[in-house]
Structure 1
Amino acid sequence: MTKPTLPPTDSIQELARFWDTQDLTDFDEQFEEVEERVFERNRRLSIELPANAAESIRSMAKRRGVKDTELVRQWVLEKAAVV
């Protein structure tokens, strides 16, 4: 009997459907241990800014073609040296 193979996908939904119908022990030889995190959770942080600062950020973000929240996120990550 041929052993089943893992589906070539990164879709969580497809993998969930696949594993709903499979026995994990049929795949033990195909798995490898990984050290890096696959699903790292983020935390949401809210800040209040003066209206003129928020508008300035919005204008800068628009010129760069990104959302204002993404621009502030980039700045914070750079400052926190987490990138």
Structure 2
Amino acid sequence: MKRLVWMGIGVAIGIIAFRKISEAQSNLQSNLGPEGLNRAVGRLTDGLYEFADAVRSGMQERETDLRTALGVESQDLARR
């Protein structure tokens, strides 16, 4: 019975993915041309920059937390 449930979930996910891909493909075909390509690349690069900024700020926040927890100051690292 468990396998039947998981198989049903897999089929449902496959159908949803197929519909999303078909929708994206039709949108891409309607936006063909230099302007559509420029917009798509611009959105992609904007998303990448936003992701990189989020990663950087998360890293900085985590480093601050670790430094506080360990009692390490920035000046101590500068001497080494």
TM-score category of the 2 structures, normalised to the smaller one: under 0.3
Computing the radius of gyration from Cα coordinates, the structure with the larger value is 2
Which is bigger in relative contact order (C-alpha 8 A, separation at least 6)? 1
Between Structure 1 and Structure 2, which shows a larger proportion of helix residues? 2
Q: TM-score normalised to the size of structure 1?
A: 0.26
